[in-house]
Amino acid sequence: MTELDKNLDTLATHLDRFRAQGIRNLINGETLPAATGAVFETRSPVDDSVICTVAKGGAEDIDAATRAARQAFPAWRDMAGTERKKILHRIADMIVERAEEIALCECWDTGQALRFMSKAALRGADNFRFFADRAPGARDGQTLPSDTLLNVTTRVPIGPVGIITPWNTPFMLSTWKIAPALAAGCTVVHKPAEFSPLTARILAEIAHEAGLPPGVWNLVNGMGEDAGRALTEHPAIKAIAFVGESKTGSMIMKQGAETLKRVHFELGGKNPVIVFDDADLDRALDAAIFMIYSLNGERCTSSSRLLVQDSIAEEFEAKLIERVNNIKVGHPLDPATEIGPLIHKVHFDKVTSYFEIAKQDGAIVAAGGERAGAQGWFVRPTLFTGATNDMRIAQEEIFGPVLTSIRFATEDEALRIANGTEYGLTAYVWTNDLTRAMRFTDRLEAGMIWVNSENVRHLPTPFGGVKASGIGRDGGDWSFEFYMEQKHIGFATGHHRIPKLGAS
């Protein structure tokens, strides 16, 4: 029996209960169908087979979940940070115990390759541990004495929050948003993406089995236009944390405007990897390939634009073509697979539409540019060369295993091209000239920049973008700044003079 066969057998045992019962909402600690009884199907992108039915929640379900979150908030807010820490660590422990189940279900539900998703659960556990350890100090503030007052600051949790997560690496991103909210003392209404509901349900179950009180974490499945909109417009939801497309972020901001809702957006990117001729070209090649073709290219931080100096471009692109054509496309549960299927036919159609767009704009399809296999939503890893930055393939987020190569001559030209999009999430710079690296990164319009490295996430650092790539930052104390309100208290230290009005 091959490793793929073993993984398929194990997956089948994990899916049995979903197939028998479907995925329902989890509100106030209770598993419930949608109030209307409506359901939708979630399908595997591997072969478009039905995995199970899913509750199709709407405004009534969101309202019930929000009421539960509001009722649970005072007790959760007032619980000692040390007690919240214990619960969050138990969640992390149970995530590790179910890591195989989480990985296999995520692969089947999203099409992500097991070689990457096998660590997704462990990264999620790390997120919970990181914020669990910070829960006792979440309210810590500063002491700011003046001549007459002892001024102190503290933080308090903002209240019930809405969290809307995407379908790419949904488990890890759910933990990245929910763990700091819980550590801060907020309660949560979570609406996962409709394309990838399996691991969101597993995660919510784990949280309750770990001892999370009812109502602190509520899960409502559904569509963005129904459940999502009801969540963003609900007056009792104090903030929305959203990961997804920039256009959807703009829509959410409009929907939350009437209730003055705080928003945190992690949105799209058209991120450049800039390779200068003095770089370590072998390492730059490895990093550029990894950051666009891993995770099926379905990641906001992917290096989807290669900016390569013209003096080395021909040789660099030749090596790139050879490597791209050698990437293994296959079943996501096969440990040898490097690229699996795209998430859904809708997304498959979007990504593949750019193959013709590239040709029409005058770019060269140097690798890929076609479907892979007869079933499922597989595409060949694709490389466009001969591109210019005004082409749609250089400006629009394709969100698939598609790289656009653009040549530049000078540092100034590279900077102009790198900054020449509406996005500003990440950038990657490859050079061995330290002064150039410092000069160039200072002028790059991106929230996160790596020099001579791929994206290596360090949890205490700020994560987020500029321009159309987002608002706000995750990570370390920046997460608490979003989920909590600052409070100032001034204590008089003596009998300072108070102005008298109306006194004779």
Each residue of 430-460: b (16+ CB within 10 Å) or e?
Answer: bbeeeeebeebeeebbbbbbbbeebbeeebe
The Cα-based distances of 368 to 287, 308, 325, 341, 386 in angstroms read 19, 20, 7, 14, 15
**pTM exceeds 0.85 for this model:** yes
Give me the mean pLDDT over the 1-5 stretch: 94
Identify the three-state secondary structure at position 484.
strand
Q: What percent helix, strand, coil does the chain show, rounded to 5?
A: 45, 20, 35
Identify the three-state secondary structure at position 57.
strand
Closest CA to 274 of 419, 414, 404: 414
Q: Which tokens is 316 given? A: 């660099």
What pLDDT score does 131 carry? 98
Q: How many other β-carbons are positioned within 10 Å of the β-carbon of residue 322?
A: 10
In this predicted model, what pLDDT tens digit does every residue of 58-116 receive, in sequence order?
999 999 999 999 999 999 999 999 999 999 999 999 999 999 999 999 999 999 999 99
In this predicted model, what pLDDT tens digit does every residue of 479-489 receive, in sequence order?
999 999 999 99
Q: Give Dmax over CA atoms of the chain in angstroms.
A: 98
Which residues are bridge partners to 449 per DSSP? Answer: 427
CA-atom Rg of the chain in angstroms: 24
Distance, in Å, from the CA atom of 485 to the CA atom of 471, rounded to the nearest integer, reads 17
Identify the three-state secondary structure at position 60.
helix
What pLDDT score does 504 carry? 75
Q: Which tokens is 215 given? A: 């109502």
What pLDDT score does 1 carry? 85
What pLDDT score does 347 carry? 97
User: Torsions phi, psi of 386, nearest 5?
Assistant: 65, 25
Q: How many other β-carbons are positioned within 10 Å of the β-carbon of residue 371?
A: 14
What pLDDT score does 498 carry? 93
The Cα-based distances of 78 to 65, 311, 434 in angstroms read 20, 62, 49
Residues 6 or more apart from 502 whose CB is under 8 A from it?
none
What pLDDT score does 4 carry? 96
Each residue of 324-336: b (16+ CB within 10 Å) or e?
Answer: beebebbbbbbee
Closest CA to 484 of 252, 312, 241: 241
Share the mean pLDDT of the chain.
97
Looking at residue 452, its amino acid is N
At residue 14's C-alpha, the angle toward residues 10 and 19, to 5°, is: 125
In this predicted model, what pLDDT tens digit does every residue of 16-50 receive, in sequence order?
999 999 999 999 999 999 999 999 999 999 999 99
Identify the three-state secondary structure at position 380.
coil
Q: Torsion over CA of 306, 312, 314 and 315, rounded to 10 degrees?
A: -100
User: Torsions phi, psi of 389, nearest 5?
Assistant: -70, -10
In this predicted model, what pLDDT tens digit does every residue of 343-355 receive, in sequence order?
999 999 999 999 9
The percentage of residues in the chain with a pLDDT greater than 70, rounded to a whole number, is 100
Residues 6 or more apart from 261 whose CB is under 8 A from it?
232, 237, 238, 239, 240
List residues with catalytic annotation.
Answer: 266, 300
Q: What is the DSSP letter of 78?
A: H
What pLDDT score does 312 carry? 98
Q: Which tokens is 160 given? A: 């019930």
Q: Torsion over CA of 444, 447, 453 and 454, rounded to 10 degrees?
A: -120
The Cα-based distances of 90 to 132, 209, 210, 211, 317 in angstroms read 10, 9, 6, 8, 48
In this predicted model, what pLDDT tens digit does every residue of 121-132 receive, in sequence order?
899 999 999 999
Distance, in Å, from the CA atom of 357 to the CA atom of 359, rounded to the nearest integer, reads 5
Which residues are bridge partners to 467 per DSSP? Answer: 423
What pLDDT score does 119 carry? 87
CA dihedral sign of residues 472, 473, 474, 476: negative
What pLDDT score does 120 carry? 86
In this predicted model, what pLDDT tens digit does every residue of 217-253 receive, in sequence order?
999 999 999 999 999 999 999 999 999 999 999 999 9
Is residue 12 predicted with pLDDT exceeding 90? yes
Distance, in Å, from the CA atom of 390 to the CA atom of 498, rounded to the nearest integer, reads 64
Distance, in Å, from the CA atom of 186 to the CA atom of 156, rounded to the nearest integer, reads 9
In this predicted model, what pLDDT tens digit does every residue of 294-340 receive, in sequence order?
999 999 999 999 999 999 999 999 999 999 999 999 999 999 999 99
Residues 6 or more apart from 119 whose CB is under 8 A from it?
none
Q: Is the separation of the CB atoms in 384 and 357 below 8 Å?
A: no
In this predicted model, what pLDDT tens digit does every residue of 145-201 receive, in sequence order?
999 999 999 999 999 999 999 999 999 999 999 999 999 999 999 999 999 999 999
* Element housing 95 (H / E): helix 81-97
Burial class (CB in 10 A: 0-12, 13-18, 19+), 498: exposed
CA dihedral sign of residues 493, 494, 495, 499: negative
Distance, in Å, from the CA atom of 8 to the CA atom of 16, rounded to the nearest integer, reads 12
What pLDDT score does 30 carry? 98
CA dihedral sign of residues 120, 219, 131, 244: positive
